[in-house]
Amino acid sequence: MNKKAIWVIIGLMGAAVIGVVCLQLGLIFTAIRVNEDKFEKDVFEALNTVVKRIEKEEQRDAFGNYANGFVTSYLESEISSMANQPAIEINFAQHTIRTLGTDRMDPDQVSTILSNECQCSRCVAERDQIYRKLFAYYQQDMHGIPIAERIKLPYLKALLKRELANRGIDIPYTYGVYSKQSNSFVIVDDHYVVEEANPQEIAPGYQNIYNSNFQVHLFPEDMPSSPGLLMVHFPTKASYVWSSNIPNLIGFILFTSIIFYCFAYTIRVIFTQKKLSEMKNDFINNMTHEFKTPIATISLASDSITSPIISGNPEKVRRFANIIKQENIRMNNQVEKVLQMAVIEKQDFSLKFTDINLHEVIERAVENIGLQVEKREGVVKAVFDATNPIISGDLTHVSNIINNLLDNANKYSPDHPEITVYTRNIAGGVEVTVEDKGMGMSKEARKHIFDKFYRVHTGNLHDVKGFGLGLSYVKAMMTAHKGTIDVKSELGKGSSFILFFQHKIDNK
């Protein structure tokens, strides 16, 4: 998969995830808005019912009082002014007077009683007149009475509580009755408000109620206008509206996080795999390259041996045979390295632990690399400070470890290598440091050098060949020896690989 395709897929996946998140957020916010609308509708319904009940209650009291005296005297005067009225009208009047005089009714009930009587046009007109008169009396009587005196506080309190509860609203609230006559609150939360020094100013404690959206006119039928407002403030309205959506929100956050985590993880895996595949390609290229040279050399040498000029000269034959042998050993070493890695990968290796004198191993390794280093006008030496260099390990692998590190120290020192191997005793074992003054590595490279197939690109730049397997082999072997490996390196200044081997390994 090429890089462009990966980015297109990531882009599409990203757009899809963001799209789903936006849609989901949209749904949640719509649900919250619907909740809020319902809450507001319920509150206004409750407040309008409260206001209506209060007004009807007041009218009932007033009409009850008027009806008795007023209707009686009004109809009596009517009757007396009409000497020979038909019997039904007198009956209607007497019956009405009786009913209106005994019960306490609101205007609707009065109007119903009146309309249950005779339906002739005269009676209807008369009834209207009675009704209008009663209402006019009521309006007149209430005009100018302070609003606080018209409201029975316990009744308002109980009614408000009941109407809100009937609609499922049982959250805390504060309420107030605001008088338009005095431009101030006259009732706040179950108590009457004593006249403010400056009634035009709303006390800070009442600001919330005053600024609330939930306001309805009290006594809306009053003429010319309503004398005041009933206002209610819900301090926890927002959390109430959101509360029913909290499970949705938690689910949304949880599942979105999972999706994002998986998304990020997938992208990481894609890039890791891509890098690995690139590294494997590099490895194959390097390997081909590494084998090409010895194959070509062997081919040339064998051609030469078979040529008649050379074949007669035993000295030259021996030389070319030696070249073939050397190249063969070189190829064998390469194959061995790759095979070692395959074995380690399968965890299919058994170590033969014996007591090893590390100083001897190091001496041999220094000697082996010595020729190559000297050819490049460099120095390689060992400084043995360890008094007890005996460790427990597998001789072949321990030798490979030291050889690999020395080989790298030589390879990655661009000119005149200066390599030193130090040993010293530390608690429980021997510490070996392979130090060079070569090209060193960046911090980023240090993080990856023990990964399989990893090679720093400057390695290629300097045309240093390798498979990127050496250090991962060293690391795997140090772990198998229950030892440790650490690296200190600075770009351009050199590197130190610090190994720790145990004198004795338990449960080997």
Where do the H-state alpha helices sit in 67-191?
A: 72-81, 87-102, 107-115, 121-142, 147-150, 153-166
Decide whether 96 or 496 has the Cβ nearer to ligand ADP.
Answer: 496
Is 163 within 8 Å of 46 (Cβ atoms)? Answer: yes
Decide whether 100 or 365 has the Cβ nearer to ligand ADP.
Answer: 365
CA distance 39 to 298: 92
Which residues bind to ligand ADP, rule: CB under 6 A? 408-409, 412, 436, 438-441, 449, 454-456, 459, 466-472, 495
Decide whether 226 or 458 has the Cβ nearer to ligand ADP.
Answer: 458
Closest residue to ligand ADP in the complex (CB)? 466
Decide whether 37 or 336 has the Cβ nearer to ligand ADP.
Answer: 336
**Residue holding tokens 């009913």?**
99
* Least Cβ distance, residue 324 to ligand ADP (angstroms): 25
* Least Cβ distance, residue 15 to ligand ADP (angstroms): 39
Give me the residues paired with residue 230 across strands: 177, 216
Decide whether 277 or 299 has the Cβ nearer to ligand ADP.
Answer: 277
Q: What is the 3-state secondary structure (H, E, C) of 223-234?
A: CCCCCEEEEEEC
Q: Pairing relation of β-strands 390-393 and 354-357?
A: antiparallel
Tokens for 121? 């046009």
CA distance 89 to 117: 9
Decide whether 464 or 505 has the Cβ nearer to ligand ADP.
Answer: 464
* Least Cβ distance, residue 444 to ligand ADP (angstroms): 11
Dihedral sign, Cα of residue 31, residue 36, residue 39, residue 42: negative
Residue 489: partners with Cβ closer than 8 Å, 6 or more residues away: 440, 441, 445, 446, 495, 496
Decide whether 315 or 444 has the Cβ nearer to ligand ADP.
Answer: 444
* Least Cβ distance, residue 445 to ligand ADP (angstroms): 6
Decide whether 241 or 405 has the Cβ nearer to ligand ADP.
Answer: 405
Tokens for 269? 């895996």
* Least Cβ distance, residue 283 to ligand ADP (angstroms): 9
The one-letter amino acid code at 380 reads: V
* Least Cβ distance, residue 467 to ligand ADP (angstroms): 5
* Least Cβ distance, residue 331 to ligand ADP (angstroms): 16
* Least Cβ distance, residue 415 to ligand ADP (angstroms): 14
Tokens for 408? 């790298």
* Least Cβ distance, residue 401 to ligand ADP (angstroms): 11
Is the preceding omega at residue 224 within 30 degrees of 0, hence cis? yes
* Least Cβ distance, residue 407 to ligand ADP (angstroms): 8
Where do the H-state alpha helices sit in 414-505?
A: 443-448, 457-461, 470-480
Decide whether 66 or 467 has the Cβ nearer to ligand ADP.
Answer: 467
The one-letter amino acid code at 297 reads: T
Helix (H, G, I), strand (E, B) or coil at 51: helix
Decide whether 104 or 280 has the Cβ nearer to ligand ADP.
Answer: 280
**Among 421, 349, 353, CA closest to 390:** 353
Decide whether 60 or 475 has the Cβ nearer to ligand ADP.
Answer: 475
* Least Cβ distance, residue 264 to ligand ADP (angstroms): 28
CA distance 250 to 472: 45
**Among 364, 375, 462, CA closest to 416:** 375
Is 419 within 8 Å of 497 (Cβ atoms)? Answer: no
Dihedral sign, Cα of residue 17, residue 22, residue 23, residue 28: positive
- DSSP, res 348: -
- DSSP, res 204: G
* Least Cβ distance, residue 425 to ligand ADP (angstroms): 24
Decide whether 444 or 506 has the Cβ nearer to ligand ADP.
Answer: 444
Q: Pairing relation of β-strands 354-357 and 228-233?
A: unpaired
* Least Cβ distance, residue 371 to ligand ADP (angstroms): 19
Q: Across the beta sheet with 184-188, what order do the strands follow?
A: 191-192, 184-188, 174-179, 228-233, 214-218
CA distance 486 to 470: 15
Tokens for 497? 């690989």
Decide whether 241 or 441 has the Cβ nearer to ligand ADP.
Answer: 441
